[in-house]
Structures are given as structure tokens and as C-alpha cells.
A = this chain, B = another copy of it.
Amino acid sequence: MSHYAESPFLELVDTELEEWRENFVRIRLRLKPHHLNRAGVVHGGVLATLLDHAGGFSGAYCTVPGNRRYGMTLSLTCNFVSQSKTGSLIATGQVERSGNKIFFARTKVETEDGVLVATGSSVHRYRSGSEKPEGVPARDS
């Protein structure tokens, strides 16, 4: 899925959008040496990027092809529960509660074997026009 080829930072990090539907998203990251920190394990910033991405996208699925829904993260908490250095990481995001303007998400990052690596919780706000599933035309179209 190339839904977000337009997101430059996610391209740099090289995430892959695997499943996206209302209130849910699953993202994969194939770990490469440039994702590691000086201790040789995945950098916290990589995990935080996955959690932020999963949280934001969990509430931004759009039912109209070509349209977009934009959200801003207000607050993100990441807990780093174990370490990882190779293989794929799977990030999932689930909307826990959604209001008119605000939605709350729970997120996690696991290895392919199901070992929990990080958990997140986040609060997001829809930009004007993005509150409804139909969304708005993409920024540059």
C-alpha cells in the first residue's frame, strides 16, 4: 500500500503500511542498521515514531479514495518494555474512544514472534474538515 508515499519522514524511516481500516492500523518496519542506537539496539526515536504513526493513523482512515484525514498528536506516551535489533517490528494502533474533535489511541510494537517491545497511548485532534470518515481532498491534489 502506498497510501502515504507523501510522508517524507516515514519514507526516511522506511515504514510499511500493512493494514488500514476504520479505527485500526498495522505498520511494519524491517529493521536495518540505521535504526539502531549507539548501544546496538533499536533507538527509542524509532519506536516513538512507530507509536505516533500508529496512533495518528488509527483514527485517520478515510472512506473516500484520494481524500485524506489529518490529525495532530497532542500527547504521546511511550513505554519501552524490551529491546530488539533485527527482524521486523509490527506496530498496531487502535482507537479507544473518539469524539467530535479528539480521539484517543492505544498502540504497541511487537516483534514478529509476538514479543512486546513498546506500548503507547496517545491523544490526537482532527484538523478542521477531517472529523468525518469522508475526509478532505489531499493537500496537493
Copies in the complex: 4
| A interface, size bucket | 35 or more
Closest Cβ of chain B to A101, distance in Å, is: 8
**Complex: A74 Cα to B95 Cα, angstroms:** 15
**Complex: A1 Cα to B56 Cα, angstroms:** 35
Chain B residues near A74 (CB-CB < 8 A): 74-75, 79-80, 102, 123
Chain B residues near A121 (CB-CB < 8 A): 77, 79, 119-121
Q: Do A97 and B76 form a contact, CB below 8 Å, given A34-B8, A40-B139, A48-B52?
A: no
- Residues of A that sit less than 8 Å from B by CB: 4, 6-13, 33-40, 43-46, 48-50, 52-53, 56, 68, 70, 72-83, 96-97, 101-102, 104, 106, 116, 119-121, 123, 125, 127, 139
